[in-house]
Amino acid sequence: MTTLSQEQHRGKHDRNQRWARIERADLLARYSELHTQGVSQRQAAKTLNVPRSTRQAWRAYQENLDECPTVVAFFQSVPGLAFLHRFVIARHVVCVEMGACGMRLVCLLLKLTGLARFVGASYGTQQQGNRHVAEAMVAYGQEESPRLAREMPPKEMTMPLDETFTGGLCLVGMEPESHDLVLEHTAPARDQDTWNTLMAPALAGLNCTVIQATSAAAPGLRAYVAPHLGAPHAPDLFHVPQELSKAVAAPMATKQRAAAKARTKAEETLKRVHAHRHHATEEPQQRGPGRRPKVAASLEQVAQDVDTARQEHHRLVAQRVQVTRSIRAIGHAYHFVDLERGVRRNGKRIAGDIPPHLDMIRTIAQHERLSESGLERIEKAKRVVPKMQATMAFVAGYVRKQVRQLGWAQPASYAMHAHLIPSYYLDSIGKFIFCHCSVNS
């Protein structure tokens, strides 16, 4: 593969350059060896077949570099150039391909470290180098995937599926345990036939069986999974809280902010009335017999308005907290292990935990007279619940099947179901949450 240091735009003065940087560094080292042996420059030029003027130009270029001579000597040597090439390529693999830094940060790194004196640090140069890195990674994957597929042991796996639109429609399928992309291919459409056309050859060489697929509720994806993969479809949890948040949480937040402003406005009005009353007390006004002061009547009305605004604000805060708790509880219920108690959940708990929270959210939405579109979103989320319950039942049944295949006696089997599996499950969830929080922070 061409090194990044070699991928630089050539000007009109070096279009006929015959020596690569590694070869140039080797020739300079051999020049120095011949010079120490007492060989003249002219004789060394004939021996190495390099014009003496070319050698002098190389040396002048090194001497004009604005850097420590020792550093220049290292990075212009064969070992130094090899290290520089590996370093730049590694930055592209780690920061651009594996991470999300982008090439501009790679360019900035080269400039801040002073390596821009020895390697092209412009965006165009690094873009060309990154293209070679990406092509090499694709070629390596095409070579290694068949070999690894032949050697892989039989495996049952869940297949997350998704459709991305960065740079055009792309269909993606991933193995979640290893994070390996089984499928990543551009597509003209996202219907079930297109999914099958691309996924079938991707799975053909793998010694694996897809026992479950999880994805969004896109019609093409749902239509593809059962007929073609022969596996149940597990709905993605993300879309249920998203629909509920748009339907109820966001409108409730808007109403709460309006109530907070109304409360603040009423309290400010009460303060002004108090100040006016204090001023009126210092300068009493004439009024008819038996008539109450206007300020007092106004004070009572404003105080009542403040009390009403506070009660309304507190009520909306409590309602919004209830909605947030219910949405969070739905996420907790989409586990076959109780996250609070750390025990396996049975079929009745799995089937009955989610609907009450949805009913609570719908009751609040109706009481607050939210929009019809919000109520439709709640119904859309509610239609996913049976699939969520079926997914939990499938997972629980699959776990029982795996434990049964071990052939263990009842005490060991019970310990596996009651203690080992829940603890391992909670440990996996904890690691996922820790990694997610670390990335977000």
Q: Residues 307-363: pLDDT tens digits?
A: 999 999 999 999 999 999 999 988 888 888 888 888 888 766 676 788 899 999 999
- CB 181 within 8 Å of CB 198: no
Q: Do 244 and 389 fall into the same domain?
A: yes
Residue predicted with more confidence, 439 or 219? 219
Does position 7 have pLDDT exceeding 50, yes or no? no
The predicted pLDDT at position 8 comes to: 43
Q: Do 195 and 335 fall into the same domain?
A: no
Question: Could you tell me if residue 11 is inside a domain?
Answer: no
Domain hosting residue 399, numbered range: 239-283+295-405
Question: Could you tell me if residue 194 is inside a domain?
Answer: yes
Residue ending a domain, among 197, 217, 235, is 235
| 67 band by pLDDT with thresholds 50, 70 and 90 | confident
DSSP class of residue 228 equals I
Which residues are CB-neighbours of 222 under 8 A, at least 6 positions away? 215, 233
Residue predicted with more confidence, 63 or 258? 258
**Domains contained in the chain, number:** 4
Q: Do 303 and 224 fall into the same domain?
A: no
Question: Could you tell me if residue 332 is inside a domain?
Answer: yes
Residue 80: both structure tokens together: 């130094």
The predicted pLDDT at position 288 comes to: 56
Residue predicted with more confidence, 30 or 365? 365
Question: Could you tell me if residue 5 is inside a domain?
Answer: no
The predicted pLDDT at position 312 comes to: 93
Q: Do 66 and 139 fall into the same domain?
A: yes
Q: Do 332 and 307 fall into the same domain?
A: yes
Residue ending a domain, among 143, 178, 207, is 143
Question: Could you tell me if residue 16 is inside a domain?
Answer: no
Percentage of the chain with pLDDT > 70?
Answer: 88
Does position 75 have pLDDT exceeding 70, yes or no? yes
CATH number (domain holding residue 187): 3.30.420.10
Cβ neighbours of 212 (radius 10 Å): 19
Q: Do 311 and 244 fall into the same domain?
A: yes
Phi, psi for 167 (deg, rounded to 5): 75, 20
Does position 9 have pLDDT exceeding 50, yes or no? no
Whole-prediction pTM? 0.62
- CB 274 within 8 Å of CB 299: yes
Identity of the residue numbered 320: R
Residue ending a domain, among 118, 143, 168, is 143
Does position 429 have pLDDT exceeding 50, yes or no? yes
Q: Do 257 and 400 fall into the same domain?
A: yes
Does position 284 have pLDDT exceeding 80, yes or no? no
For range 370-374, the mean pLDDT: 90
Q: Do 172 and 247 fall into the same domain?
A: no
Q: Do 319 and 361 fall into the same domain?
A: yes
Q: Do 381 and 273 fall into the same domain?
A: yes
Question: Could you tell me if residue 127 is inside a domain?
Answer: yes
Which residues are CB-neighbours of 27 under 8 A, at least 6 positions away? 19, 48, 50, 55
Q: Do 68 and 204 fall into the same domain?
A: no
Q: Do 381 and 265 fall into the same domain?
A: yes
- Residue range 11-23, pLDDT digits in tens: 444 444 577 777 7
- Residue range 129-183, pLDDT digits in tens: 999 999 998 898 888 888 888 888 888 999 999 998 877 899 999 988 888 888 9
- Residue range 91-103, pLDDT digits in tens: 999 999 888 888 8
